[in-house]
Each structure stands twice: as C-alpha cells, then as structure tokens.
C-alpha cells in the first residue's frame, strides 16, 4: 500500500492509500470517491460528505487546492521524495552549492543536463534505473550545473555524488 506524508498548512498527516475507495489518515480509515471532472476540477466524496475542488499542481510535490473560496497549500511526499530530501541535506541547500546524491544504488540511464546549463526547480537532472524502474532525479532549486560526476551507463551506489549545482 503506497504511503505518503502530506503537509497541509504545515500540519503533517500520514496517508496510506489502497486505491480501492479507502484511505487511512493517521491510522483512521476513511471512505473516499474521487471523480475528475474537467481540467483540474474534481468531485470528492469523503466519508459521505461531498466536496467540489480544483487542484493546481505547482511542482512535483506542491499543489494548491481550492475549495469553497478557501485555498490550501498541499505537499505530498512519497518514499522517493523522502529519500531525495534525506540525501539533499539542508546545509547543502543553504550553501551556494547544492550536491545531488543518488538516493539508491542503480544505473545512470541518462544525464539530462550539461555543465553550465541554467536550470530551475523541478528540472530533470538524471534518470536512474533501480530495481527495473526509472527514477528521475530533479533539482530542488534554481541554479547552474557546475559539475557532473556521472556518465550514462555508469553504476552508482546510494549516496554517491551525481552532480553539483551552484
């Protein structure tokens, strides 16, 4: 069952979704039915209450939810996002350089950027194959690619430096 950490207005929730019209939020089961209307509009039945919402995806993890003239910032982290966060240390993010490390062992399938390239938050940097799945490693902030430490078809270990951004 996929597990997520969901942050709404700085409040953290543990969410387990089975995609069978049921979710568990902080250990409590809830019935849910979600119907996509058009664009980012949805009709949601949550524990027999009906909500009409719009969802705007800002980045891979950040969403804006609008419901009944209220707006909420929602961050959804899956296991992959938590691993990336763990391997992009806060002290690295505060420095001028950002060191991008492999969140898991794998094979570099593609390097999507070049040295000197200007990038923005959310830009794909490297595609890493691990356990027969392709994982795109994305930038967490704007910057310039200073150094690339890997090449395509190269095997990497967990925690190995992939590239450095400034």
| Tens digit of each residue's pLDDT, the chain (166 residues) | 578 888 887 789 999 887 678 889 999 999 999 898 988 899 999 999 999 998 887 777 888 888 887 888 888 888 777 777 676 655 444 457 888 888 788 899 999 999 999 998 888 899 988 877 888 888 878 889 999 999 999 999 988 899 999 8
60's CB contacts (< 8 A; 6+ apart) are 81, 122, 138
For the entire predicted model, the pTM comes to 0.51
Q: Does domain 79-165 have CATH number 2.40.50.100?
A: yes
Reduced to 3 states (helix: H, G, I; strand: E, B; else coil), residue 11 is: strand
As annotated, the residues of the chain forming the CATH 2.40.50.100 domain(s) are 79-165
- Quick one: CATH architecture of 3-77? 2-Layer Sandwich (3.30)
As annotated, the residues of the chain forming the CATH 3.30.700.30 domain(s) are 3-77
Q: Is there a contact between 138 and 145 (Cβ–Cβ < 8 Å)?
A: no
């Amino acid at each position: 069952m996929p597990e997520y950490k969901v942050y709404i207005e700085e409040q953290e929730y543990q969410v387990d979704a089975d995609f069978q019209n049921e979710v568990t939020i902080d250990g409590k089961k809830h019935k849910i039915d979600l119907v996509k209307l058009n664009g980012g509009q949805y009709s949601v039945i949550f524990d027999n209450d009906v909500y009409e919402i719009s969802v705007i995806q800002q980045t891979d993890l950040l969403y804006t939810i609008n419901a009944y003239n209220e707006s909420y910032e929602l961050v959804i982290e899956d296991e992959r996002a938590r691993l990336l966060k763990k391997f992009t240390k806060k002290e690295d993010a505060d420095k001028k350089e950002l060191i991008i490390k492999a969140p898991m062992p794998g094979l570099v399938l593609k390097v999507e950027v070049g040295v000197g390239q200007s990038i923005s938050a959310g830009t794909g940097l490297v595609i890493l194959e691990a356990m027969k799945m392709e994982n795109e490693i994305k930038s967490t902030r704007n910057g310039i690619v200073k150094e690339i430490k890997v090449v395509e078809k190269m095997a990497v270990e967990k925690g190995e430096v992939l590239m450095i951004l400034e």
